[in-house]
Chains A and B, each alone.
Chain A
Amino acid sequence: MDTSRRAFVKALSALPVEILASRKLPSSSTLAATRRRPASLPEIRWPKPIGSPVLESIRLAIENSRDVFTHVDKIVEVAAWMGYEDLAIPEYPVPSGVQSTAPNDVVDLILVANSIDTAFTDFKTHVKFQVDYEGRHTSDSDAMFACLNRAMHNGVPILDGRFLAKVTRPELEKIFAGNIEMPMLDEKLEVLHQIGSVLAGKYEGRFHNFIKSGPPLLYDGGNGLVERMSKEFPRFNDVSSYDGREIKFYKLAQLGLWFAWATYPKDGPVQLNDVEKMTTFPDYIVPVALRLLGINSYSPELEHAIDTYQLIPRDSTQEVEIRAHSIYATALLREEINKIRPADLQVIIPQVNERLWTHYHTTFWPHHLTKTIMY
């Protein structure tokens, strides 16, 4: 989660609402109310199946949305210029400062870090977690990686589930010593206890053993890596209920595997023979990108709630719709982009996700605020 915007937020929150309202975009919330889909309209356009249970599960939320809307005409318009961009698969460097560059260790580090990749900004003070280590000033998830590297350097076995299962709050405080107490430290502690116990009990303490113990697939009738992560480690079971039906997001399960795969795409420890089944990783930032590009619009109520930094409760219909439309809209955007590109430059959805995220992860436009361990 990137939250550098919140320093600006803090200053802004003193401004009258009229000023915030004047920051509305063309084709924004004023249109949203009128664009709500009457039941009589023809079927919504659905992306071609990519074999993703996530994409398949969100249809209900798209069809019945109250507060979030996707504008397919805008997707076509944006694809007509974004389709000509590079959109390369990102080359993730081995996390900076990692003490061991053995691929198994690096993958373990990525997956341990990914499991606690939740808010790095204090929800009350809006101060961002920051650390100076080895001459570098880091913040957000970079700062978390710096802390984990520092711990490894100091001989703390943070890649080992047997340690993580029993790590104490004071030990974790020390590992994450920075400008402020690590935000959501208690939640992160609980997550580490959970994944540590599972890793220790079944996988000799290490994530790469978990990876090796199944087929190199995201989905495989229950045996795929995403399926197993969400089943064996409840913290990855990123699902919500919407009108009585289960909506799947699997943000961190997908992101961790994507990150590990893309770090060693050729022959690393994480091979994914069905990587094209990845969806967007629905977080705080991609919805902002879609909203700013006019691909999504919000009801006046939701727009106002976000602009005034109200918490959007976890599992509320608003939160579910924001995330579901991220997945839906990026799937369609990828289809439109691929219509334009030659065969050898076709993209998969995480490349579109990456494109939207990198351009906006430091934006000063407000994103929705939800307190959760799922993103």
Chain B
Amino acid sequence: MLAAAGGNPPRQAAGANPSGVNLGGVKSDAPLRWPKPIGSPVLDSLRPVIENSRDVHTHVDKIVEVAGWMAYEELPMPEYHLPAGVGVNDPKEAIDFIMVADVIDTAFTDFTTHVKFTTEYAGQHWSDSEAEFACLKRAMDNGIPILDGNFLAKVTRQQLNEIFSGNIEMPMLDEKLAVLHQVGPVLAEKYKGRFSNFVHSCPPRLYDNGKGIIDRLVVEFPRFNDVSQYDGHEIKLYKLPQLGIWFVYASLHPGGKFQLEDIGAMTAFADYIVPVALRLLGITSYSPALEHAINTYQMIPRDSTQEVEVRAHCIYATALLREEVNKIRPADKQIIIPQIDARLWMPYHTTFWPHHLTKTIMY
């Protein structure tokens, strides 16, 4: 999602480029440190990008330094909250709700005006993805079968516009409509209209030689096939399929309602915000050209080398940061990458530092 598309003038902060070094185009002779395998096709696919990056660079020494203080933080498993009443004693409904919300979890800020989508529900003011949640719950309250693929397959633009009534027209409404028209028929035809039936038709694994939940999400629902080409290689990012299933896991696993054998194969969810956190911490740095483009709110085209590098380094750097953090923590406090992702995302998701702007349905 697009959390804060700007409105602020470009900034040069003290220490904003802590390395102070332009590494653009300079290739180091030092061997690239690669994270130990975690069983993730996403992580495995990134190597051509990290090795050949032009505009984004990861500084392993900074990762070690940051781990030296971050490791002693709590770094809890994040707690996500569904709108009141959703999925109570009904894990299948929780899965349906999370995954329907996830398929349309794309920009909530108008790319032209930079106005953020907000809505009122249950006497409260909501914005961004929380506003999306509130709209979906409000639709459920009004008897609209928003979790049913049969409905989603045929929902009209006007209906969707009403479901997402708020301060402005829901950003990327046409794209969200197209996604629902794609996802709805698949659910209707193969899974009795419900994401929970899809999830339960999979083994309890993210990846399983093509049969895992993520393996199948990206094949059966093309909107989840978040891949890009880079120098002729296919780079897998899989932001929304991973995030959706992580959200399901974080919501249901603590109560024993959802198991995954390979949860450790989750990577960071490569979005707009985690790259900002890494950039501010000095873990990544950008070429002057990319830095300037972001600071002046220029669009970074989808699938451009710059966009792919921003996202790939986000996954690479968080994998290494998790390794360094775990070196310091005792055995009973070891963490997985999504805990790093949450730690970086939380304090910065409302930041006034500019993030890259890319128009896409993939995050």
Contact = CB atoms under 8 A, between A and B. Distances in A.
A pairs with B = yes
Interface of A: 8, 23, 25-26, 76-77, 79-81, 83-87, 288, 292-294, 336, 339-342, 345, 355, 359-365
B68 A292 contact: yes
Given A360-B73, A363-B72, A86 B14 contact: no
A363 B68 contact: no
Contact of B68 (A25, A77, A336): A25
Interface string B316-348: 000000000000111001000000000000011
A86 B68 contact: no
B352 interface: yes
B348 A84 contact: yes
Contact of A364 (B14, B18, B333): B333
B16 A25 contact: no
Given A86-B351, A342-B8, A80 B73 contact: no
B69 interface: yes
B68 A26 contact: yes
A8 B330 CA distance: 9
B297 to A, nearest CB: 16
A81 B69 contact: no
B15 A81 contact: yes
B21 to A, nearest CB: 16
B18 to A, nearest CB: 7
A25 B67 CA distance: 10
Q: 5 closest Cβ contacts across the A-B interface?
A: A80-B15, A85-B347, A81-B280, A292-B69, A365-B72
Contacts of B353: 84
Contact of B13 (A83, A292, A360, A363): A83
Given A25-B69, A26-B68, A364-B330, A84 B13 contact: yes
- The B contact surface, by secondary structure, is loop
Contacts of A25: 68-69
Nearest to B64: A26
A265 B347 CA distance: 22
22 contacts: A8-B330, A23-B328, A25-B68, A80-B13, A80-B14, A80-B16, A81-B15, A81-B282, A84-B280, A84-B351, A84-B352, A84-B353, A85-B351, A86-B349, A87-B347, A355-B347, A360-B73, A362-B74, A363-B72, A364-B72, A364-B330, A365-B72
B350 interface: yes
Given A86-B351, A345-B352, 5 more contacts: A76-B15, A84-B280, A292-B69, A294-B69, A360-B74
Most buried by B among A81, A292, A342: A81
B348 to A, nearest CB: 6
Interface in B34-58: none
A364 B70 CA distance: 12
A298 to B, nearest CB: 15
A40 to B, nearest CB: 28
B351 A360 contact: no
Contacts of A345: 352
Contact of B347 (A86, A293, A361): A86
Most buried by A among B69, B282, B347: B69
A143 to B, nearest CB: 18
B68 A80 contact: no
Nearest to A26: B68
A288 B71 CA distance: 13
Contacts of A292: 68-69, 72
Interface in B56-98: 64-65, 68-69, 72-74
A77 B15 contact: yes
A84 B3 CA distance: 14
Nearest to A291: B69
A363 B74 contact: yes
Contacts of B68: 25-26, 292
Nearest to A78: B15
B281 interface: yes
Nearest to B69: A292
Contacts of A76: 14-15
Contact of B348 (A85, A359, A365): A85
A72 to B, nearest CB: 13
A359 B276 CA distance: 19
A77 B72 contact: no
A342 B14 contact: no
Nearest to A288: B72
B333 A339 contact: no
